[in-house]
Amino acid sequence: MSSADVAKGSVLNGYRCLGTTKDGAWGQFKPTDGNPNKQDAEQKRREQELAKRKEREELAKGALSIEDRDRAIRKLHTHFGLGQRHREDLQRRG
């Protein structure tokens, strides 16, 4: 079967015929939506998204609560505080 035998819009071996080239010597084909490669890519994307979500949840389990984090930051600020230049900048900005 040649590309000339395939009607525009028909599907052949998982590819949709777009028509022929300008010179009529070649057929133009595009993978159909049911292409297994596209489905595999979509499945892989979903798996990666799930893995990222699980990783974020694992990190969140080890994180401090909001109140504990606030206390820890305030404790650090008592030791390291703002420099004079930063304090002046904050006052200047209101």
Listed residue (1, 19, 20) closest to 10, CA to CA: 19
Structural domain total, the chain: 3
Judge if 70 and 56 occupy the same domain.
Answer: no
pLDDT tens-digit series, residues 39-84: 788 889 999 999 999 999 988 888 888 999 999 988 988 888 778 8
Judge if 44 and 24 occupy the same domain.
Answer: no
pTM beyond 0.75: no
Which pLDDT score is estimated for 34? 63
- The number of helix segments (H) and strand segments (E) in the chain equals 3, 3
**Side-chain-side CA neighbours of residue 49 (13 Å):** 6
Judge if 1 and 23 occupy the same domain.
Answer: yes
pLDDT tens-digit series, residues 11-44: 878 788 888 888 888 888 888 876 567 778 888 9
Which domain range does residue 86 map to?
A: 65-94
Which pLDDT score is estimated for 93? 93
Judge if 21 and 41 occupy the same domain.
Answer: no
